[in-house]
Structures are given as structure tokens and as C-alpha cells.
Amino acid sequence: MGFSTNLQGKIAHEALLTRQDAELRLIEGMKRCIHVKVKCDRDYAAALSSVASQGLKIDKGDDLVGSIVCSTWKTMMEEIENTAKLIKQNSDALETKALDALNALYVEKRKIRKAYQEEHTRILQQFNQLSEEVVRKKAEYQKYLEQYKLMRAKFEEIYIKGGRGGRKLDEVRDKYQKACRKLHLTHNEYVLLLCEAVEFEKDFRTVLLPGLLEYQQSLQETFILTWKQILQDIATNSDSTSDKFRECYNRIQLNIESIKPIDEYKDFTEKYKTNPAEPVKFTFDESLVDDQGGKLLPNQLTVDNLTVEWLRNKLTELESSIKENQEKRSTLTNNGHNGDNSLINGKTTTTNDTINNRLSLCIETSKKELNELKCQERKISKQIELIKAALNELGCEEAPSACDLSIDNQPAFIDSSTEEGAGSQNTLNKHLVNFDPHRLVSMLPRALRKPFRRRSVPSSPVAPPRTKNRRESATRSEGADPLSVTTNKSLVDEEWFHGVLPREEVVRLLREDGDFLVRETTRNDECQTVLSVCWGGHKHFIVQTTLEGHYRFEGPSFPTIRELIIYQYNSGLPVTQRSGAILYKPIPRERWELNNDDVILLDKIGRGNFGDVYRAQLKNSNEVVAVKTCRVTLPEEHKKKFLQEGRILKQYDHPNIVKLIGICVQKQPIMIVMELVPGGSLLTFLRKKVTSLVEAQLMKMCLDTAAGMRYLESKNCIHRDLAARNCLVGYSNIVKISDFGMSREEEEYIVSDGMKQIPIKWTAPEALNFGKYTSLCDVWSYGILCWEIFSRGGTPYVGMNNSKAREKIDSGYRMPAPENTPDEMYRLMLRCWEYKPENRPNFEQIYTVVETLFNAYRSTFC
């Protein structure tokens, strides 16, 4: 079985050649691959080498002192470097040995293929030639045989015809003999040739071809040995599991095994041994609250109207986060118990060591998380405790006002009969910003405290006997009626019920310990009834509702709030134990506090920012008045702002300032009642009477407004919105300044809550740029107002939008004088528009200028 016996056929021969071609291609392919592999291995070795040198960049110094992990890592990196070297050596060997051997094998095999093919062709050709010769010889044989037959036939013919002699016979005989000779020679040649052919054919089949194939086989088999060796070399030089590599790995392994958690930090802890940390004390720096008059106390939460909601929200937030925390903790605790099995069951292939490590890590992590959760919980519960204690302290008391100033410094609804010089009062306001009435009262010797002004009253049927207390020792004012439940009055009918009177007003009304009133407030859309008491400051108690729908504070409950308050008054018991507040004197509504039902709204005459303005009639006096209403749906803050105008106007009495008659806060809608100024807004008036108004009338309007503003300036009131649209025209065209919604009673007022709804074209640059308002800002607006008057209701900076006008003013532009404006009047306007406020005249000066002008004008033109 081999090439010689099996591969003699033509197809086998072709296949053998094809096979050799394929093998040559295989060698070429291998060469290419090995070439690439050598390159890859070299690159890999270089990359590993740089990884190792990167990995060996470890902190110098003592930071990792004694770390076995670190030294293992170093070994690991060194062994990676060694590995890189080994890979490089192997790739070199691969190149020199395997690649060169493959090249040589390729050359040899090509040569042998060629030789085989040539030899095979040669012997085949030999055989073919012989075969062809036999065919040819046979054809020759046949030809000579024919000639012979022909010549013999001729000879016999002549011989038979001509006898025994004759030239012709000789000729024929000669030819016959020659043909015979030729035939016999050819016959012999043919016989010899056949003999040769038979022999050669036998040799070809049995010796030559098998010999060639046998030789070929032995050569190819020798090549296979070489080839095998080459593959072996490739394998050897690619083996990363060889002993050398294994040694590297073993060294790493040994190092890794030497890592023992217990030993890892031994040297380190020894080297940096220190004492346990000293506890850090967090203490409240008491100097922070030194000048807070006891309002802010170290380590105590401050519960007031500004913080109470925040505290409640904070409490809810903390309570929900503690709940969340507790849930997390219980989940973690449960997982801690079940976790072990799940880990073991889940990873069957993991070694026990790893499982144990992971388990203990898991347990440690859970422990740590649990600790963290516990700490967090402790922290939150402490905060909750603190807030709860602070809120519990409050009980049913409404949170005190953070800025609960003395009643004397409230710029508010002061009865004109009790009004002191408002200027001095405002100066006082500024000095009393930090005034704490509670502290002041407690600082006074009892004898010096103002006597209580309540009369003694007989006990009402529901009243328990009075206790001996502070009230008994107080001098009671004469003439006060006892509070009695016997009449059929409702709460709103009581004089001491003040409806939705703002808290700031309430605080102003309650001046002495024991003064009290009842009012309503809305919190989170819920209407609450509040008992406000002056007791070493102002306390506001929210009436609590029981499940049966009765009302109470801390004591007994009553079916009506009125009965509750009367009980509280007559019993002489403190409203709450904590406050100790006792009701001595019910404070009745001021004359400004009108009953909503006292006002009959007639017809709508205008529309303001907060609601509609009506012509109305007062029930008692039939007086026709103007009433500004505040939309019921507006938020509480807006309602306070609405009342701000009343609060300001209350103090003023001047022919050029619209007069306040009262406020209606008994129920919604709250209203401001004012004198009716029949001509409506000055702006509309000017526009309507464009043609009929003469200069003297215009000058008079400027004089009226200057008079009103001079008065306001003297009261330290900054109007902030002086404009023709905010002035009203009364009988005989008298102009009255109105719309005090933006007014402030301060020498200087800094706006910090944005500049929303600012009348840009009327406002002075320093107010626009820095939010700084003074009376001199009103002076700027007054200049614009005069311009409006003389332009007969013109639009200032017409054709410019607000920002353009602002830009132009900042760059020095000033409006030109309206047509026919007297020069002196325009000069005054320009002085009012001086960029620097200090260069503007004040209203005192303005009034003098306008008055002189008006008088001169009147005497010249009228």
C-alpha cells in the first residue's frame, strides 16, 4: 500500500501533483501566519512589559509599609515582565527556527514536485514513442507486404509467360527479391520492436513508474518529518504553559498565598500607632444670640409664625425618613438571616474559601449598613424629639410673630385722637426694631407696670369661681361691662370680635397684659378662630374643635366659641398652662373697624389691582363713600398687602390726600372705605378735558399734588407710585393723592424681592438700579406727574418701551417740555429729574417754587 501500487493511474498522477501544490500553498499560508504571530507576540511582549513597568510605579515612602498585598503586586508585575521576556524569546525562536525551516521546506518541496513531474513525463514519453513506433512499423510491414505480394505476382506472371530467362524476367525477379528482402527485414524489425515494446511496457508498469512513485513517497514522507518538526517548534515556542511560564505563575501564586489579612496591616499599625480620637464638642456659640433679646435661645428651636410651618413640614419629612430607615433596617436584618443559604446555593462552582470570604464580607457589609442606619435613626429621632418638644410647647397657641414689636412702633391704624407726631413715632419705629415687649415688661418692677384696666365683673352662670391671681391685684378700669353669655349675641356681634383683622393690627391693639380680642385667620385654606392675648408679649391661641364639634383650649369645651371665650374671661384661669395668659380686658373694635354690613355697595366706579371699586353708602350716616374691595379668592399675603393702603392712609389727614374712613374686616370680602372723590382718576380727567383746561388750572394741580407730597414727606412716607393715574380729582378740581398700595413709611426703603410691577417710566434711576427708595424718588415721579399734567394726559417717553426709556435716561436724555409749559415749570421738572437724588429739590422746596409760580401766574393771567 503506497504511492507505487495505488497511484499509477493518470488521475492519481494529477491528484498527486495537485496535492503537492496544495501543500505548497499550505506552507505559504503557514509562513504568513507565523510571520504575523511573531509580530503579535513581540507587540504583546512589549505591551506586557509596559504594563509591568506601569504597575511597578507604586507609592514610594512608608505609606504602604509592610503591605504583603503590595509586595505580591510587585512580584506579579515582575513576573509579568519575565513573562514578556519569555514571549519575546519565543517569538525570536519562532522566527529563526520555524519560519526559516518552513522556507527551506517550501523550496525543497517545489524542487521535488518539479523533478517528479519531469521524470514522469520522460518515462511516459518513452513508452508513447515506442508504442507509436510499433504502430508505424506495423504500417510499414503492411506496406512492404503489399509490395512483396505485388512483385511476386508480377514475377510469377512473367515467369509463367516468358519462361526461364529474359531480361524482363530478371528485372521482375530482381524487384521481387528486393521486395522480399524488404519485407523480411521489416518483419524482423517489427518482431524486434515488438520485443522491445513488450519489455518496456512491462518495465514501465512494474519498474519505472512504481519506482518513481516510491521515490516520490519516500521524499514526501521525509518532508512530513521536517514539517512535523516545524510544527513542534511552533508549538514549543507558543506554549505559555511551559515550565518557564509556570515558574512565573508559581512565584506569583506563592506570593498571593502569603497574603494574610491579619498580617497585612501589622507593620503599618505598629508604625502609626496613636491614641483613640478625642471627642469633638459641638456647642452653640452663645454670642450669636447675644443681641437677640431672648428671642433666639441657644440649643432651642424657635417656634414663631415664620418657622412653625417649616418645623411642621420638617417634622413630617423627618418622620417619613425615619420610617424609611426602619424599613430598610428590617429588610437588612431579614436578609442577614437568609443571605447565607442563598449565597451557598447560588454558586456551586465557587470554592469554599471564596464563598466564606464573600459571606463574611456580606455579613460585615450588612453590619456596617445596619450601624449606619442605626446612627442615622438616632440622629433623626433626636431631631424629631427636639421639634416635637418645641411644637408641643406651643400647644394650641398660634406661633408667636417673629417680629412681634411693641404696639407703639406699629405704623398702623392709629386713631387720630391718639396719634402722636408721626415723624417722631417713625423715628421711634426705627430704634425699636429689636424691641421685645416680653422682656421689657418682665424687666419692669411690678409697681411700675401699667395698671390693668378691667372692671371686676360678677361671675356668669358658666363661670367657675375666680382664682386669686395677678388680675386680682391689678387696678381695674371703670365702666367695662362684664362678659355675659346670657344675651343672645353671636360671636361676630361681640365688640371684641375683630373678624379678619390682620395680626399686625391685633398686636397694635393689645397693649397691656390681659388685653384680648378674638379674630379669624386662614391657614392652609382653613378658617381658624384665634384668641389673641397680650401677656408678656403677644400670644395667639387657636380655638380647638373637639370630636363632638365643641370648642376648647386646654380646659373644658363649649358648644360655641363665644361661650368658651366668656368662660375663659370669667374663670380667670390661664388659657394654657404654659402661657399663663389670663384674659383681663376685652378690646373692642376701633372706630375704623366698620362692620361689613354697615356699608351698602351702590355702583362700580373703577377696577383696582385687588378688586373692584364701588360708590357706596354708610348705613349709619348715609354718607356716600368709595369702597375698594379685595377679591375673596386672593391669597392671604395679597389681602395683607391690600390692607397696607388702609394702614398707611389711616394716619393721614390732608386735603390733598384721599381720606380713609375705615376698613371692613368682619368678614369677606375685606374692604377699604374712603372718601368719594367724584372726578375719578386725574389721568382720565386730563385726557377728557384736553381743550378746556387752562395753564393756571394745570399749575394748581401741580400745587395740590406738591402740597400732598410735602405732607407725606413730612411723615416719612414714600409713595413709590406717584402718577396721574393714581391721583383723584375732587370738587373744584382739587387733586388728591391716592393709591397707597406701594407706599412705605420709612426714610429709605430697599426693595429686595425683585422689581415686579414697577412703573418704570415714573421711577427714579437709583430705585430702578439699586431698589433704593427715598422721598427724592417721589420727587422724580412728581416731575413726570407735572409733565403728564402739562401734556394734558400725555404718555411719557412716547414711542419708547420701558427698557429703551431706562437706557435713554441713564445716557442723560430728558423729555422735552410739553407745549405751552411755562419755562419755570419745565426747569422744575428738569431739577426733579436730576440723576443724583441729592441734586433734586425736596417737596418743601418744590411746594415753595410751585406756589410762587402759581401765584405769579394767577395774578398775571386771571
Write down the catalytic residue from 513, 704, 721, 739: 721
Question: Could you tell me the three cell numbers for 826?
Answer: 419745565
Long-range contacts, 631-634 (Cβ 8 Å, 24+): 631/669, 632/668, 632/669, 634/610
Q: Which is nearer to ligand ADP, 85 or 615 (CB)?
A: 615
Residue 810 annotated among the catalytic residues of the structure: no
Number of C-beta neighbours around residue 273 at 10 A = 7
The C-alpha atoms of residue 798 and residue 796 are separated, in whole angstroms, by 5
Look at residues 790, 788, 825, 787 and name the one whose alpha carbon lies nearest to residue 693: 790
User: Could you tell me the smallest distance in angstroms from the CB atom of residue 711 to ligand ADP?
Assistant: 17
The C-alpha atoms of residue 30 and residue 53 are separated, in whole angstroms, by 34
Number of C-beta neighbours around residue 638 at 10 A = 15
CB 463 within 8 A of CB 570: yes
User: Could you tell me the smallest distance in angstroms from the CB atom of residue 655 to ligand ADP?
Assistant: 14
Q: How far is CA 595 from the centre of its chain?
A: 51
User: Could you tell me the smallest distance in angstroms from the CB atom of residue 689 to ligand ADP?
Assistant: 15
Question: Could you tell me the three cell numbers for 546?
Answer: 373637639
Going by the annotation, the residues of the binding site for ATP are 605-613, 628
Look at residues 761, 787, 788, 765 and name the one whose alpha carbon lies nearest to residue 776: 765
* 3 state DSSP class of 469: coil
Q: Which is nearer to ligand ADP, 463 or 616 (CB)?
A: 616
Q: Which is nearer to ligand ADP, 578 or 725 (CB)?
A: 725
Location of C-alpha cell 505580591? 72
User: Could you tell me the smallest distance in angstroms from the CB atom of residue 651 to ligand ADP?
Assistant: 17
User: Could you tell me the smallest distance in angstroms from the CB atom of residue 788 to ligand ADP?
Assistant: 14
β-bridge mates for residue 526, sequence order: 523
Amino acid found at 779: V
Instruction: For helices 352-394 and 308-346, give the axis angle rounded to 10 degrees.
Output: 160
| Three-class DSSP labels, 402-436 | CCCCCHHHCCCCCCCCCCCCHHHHHHHHHHCCCCC
Look at residues 621, 601, 733, 739 and name the one whose alpha carbon lies nearest to residue 678: 733
The C-alpha atoms of residue 445 and residue 428 are separated, in whole angstroms, by 23
The C-alpha atoms of residue 729 and residue 229 are separated, in whole angstroms, by 121
* 3 state DSSP class of 832: helix
β-bridge mates for residue 599, sequence order: 618
Going by the annotation, the residues of the binding site are 605-613, 628
N- to C-terminal Cα separation, the chain: 151
User: Could you tell me the smallest distance in angstroms from the CB atom of residue 738 to ligand ADP?
Assistant: 5
User: Could you tell me the smallest distance in angstroms from the CB atom of residue 789 to ligand ADP?
Assistant: 16
Question: Could you tell me the three cell numbers for 268?
Answer: 503599618
DSSP assignments along 105-158, one per residue: HHHHHHHHHHHHHHHHHHHHHHHHHHHHHHHHHHHHHHHHHHHHHHHHHHHHHH
Q: How far is CA 782 from CA 727, 729, 738, 859, in A?
A: 11, 16, 14, 25
The C-alpha atoms of residue 752 and residue 764 are separated, in whole angstroms, by 16
User: Could you tell me the smallest distance in angstroms from the CB atom of residue 665 to ligand ADP?
Assistant: 17
The C-alpha atoms of residue 112 and residue 220 are separated, in whole angstroms, by 9
User: Could you tell me the smallest distance in angstroms from the CB atom of residue 306 to ligand ADP?
Assistant: 27
CB 561 within 8 A of CB 527: no
User: Could you tell me the smallest distance in angstroms from the CB atom of residue 680 to ligand ADP?
Assistant: 4
Interface ranges with ligand ADP (CB under 6 A): 605-606, 608-610, 613, 626, 658, 674-677, 680-681, 726, 728, 738-739, 741
What are the backbone angles phi and psi of residue 591, rounded to the nearest 5°?
-65, -20
Number of C-beta neighbours around residue 93 at 10 A = 16
Q: Which is nearer to ligand ADP, 736 or 792 (CB)?
A: 736
β-bridge mates for residue 737, sequence order: 657, 727
User: Catalytic residue numbers?
Assistant: 721
